[in-house]
Structure 1
């Protein structure tokens, strides 16, 4: 038996393995990409069962997979994420928050009380000390330290 003939004769097994592999990967990623690829594999399997040559099976599978990824996946993702809460939380919610300096903030130490009531260790840019009572904005969070700037500096 010729190798090409053997591949064509047992291509349905390869399509099944490919479909199952894509479905398992989809279960791990939950991104709809591999689900669309498995549908393409299903189209390739259907072409094989209808007697199409191997090259046509691959073309059909590729066209269906690409069409599914480009046309069906985006609306499915939008529908899936429609009910998500877009409000920032955790560290992201602290970025841009106002605060009041409690003890002088330098590039090495300091304390601020944020508008949410939390007291944080704070740091400023090197060479810029911020005196107590100054209103600041949180620039970024690094671990348990808030990097702040005076509010006037940002509005000027």
Structure 2
């Protein structure tokens, strides 16, 4: 058993490499760059373990320091680049153009709709328009947490942007 622990102490980099791989793979499920930054910290801990086997405290400190710096410096930069990329649409922006159903009467002041399986506060885009519960709607705009909608049956009143 002592031989096993000696091997673990001498080859701690294998554990760090495994932790780094697990975190990097888990990042593919979140796509938020957080786990990727932590994976880089674990990789740095593994590199430290190669040069300083048995120095667990230093390995942990290096892993925490590198992961923390990556989270604080690199992650915000990467997120900004992704969000500023052409064609990027946030989850709220993706709601524009979606179809749904009014769950309560929708007026220009208040209402409720169901879009993509979620209930949202809503109001019509035009004053005087009322959408009854059960009618189909389309999302025109997102205003904070309120969807601006119009009746799907009536459309927006133009044909492909061309004036008639």
- Provide the rounded CA distance (Å) in 1 between the counterparts of 2:51 and 2:78: 30
Structure 2: distance between partners of 1:63 and 1:30: 22
Q: What does residue 60 of structure 2 align with?
A: 58
Q: Write out aligned runs for 1:69-108 (5 A).
A: 69-83=71-85, 84-85=88-89, 89=96, 90=98, 95=123, 97-101=125-129
Question: Are 2:11 and 2:50, in contact at CA under 8 Å, matched by a contact in 1?
Answer: no
SS of equivalent residue, structure 1 residue 98: coil
DSSP 3-state at the match of 2:23: helix
* Mapped partners of 1:34, 1:140: distance in 2: 32
Compute the RMSD of aligned alpha carbons: 3.0
In structure 1, list runs of 5 or more residues that go unmatched. 102-111, 113-119, 123-138, 146-156
TM-score w.r.t. structure 1 length? 0.58
Q: Which is higher, the Rg of structure 1 or of structure 2?
A: 1
Change in CA separation of 1:95 and 1:40 when aligned onto 2, cut-off 3 Å = farther
Offset at residue 13 of structure 1 (A): 1.4
Unaligned runs of 5+ in 2: 99-114, 134-144, 152-164
What SS is found at the alignment partner of 2:132?
strand
Distance change (3 Å), C-alpha of 1:95 and 1:20: farther
Q: Does 1:47 align with 2:75?
A: no
Partners of 1:81 and 1:26 lie apart in 2 by 17
In structure 1, the residue matched to 2:35 is 34
> 2:146, 2:44 → 1: CA distance?
49
For the residue of structure 1 that corresponds to 2:52, the secondary structure is coil
1:85 CA displacement = 4.2
The normalised TM-score by structure 2 is: 0.55
Deviations 1:3-43 (A, max 9, x none): 76443223111111101101110111111111111111111
Q: 1:28 to 1:10 in 2, by over 3 A?
A: same
Looking at structure 1, the residues matched to 40 and 52 of structure 2 have their Cα atoms a distance apart, in angstroms, of 19
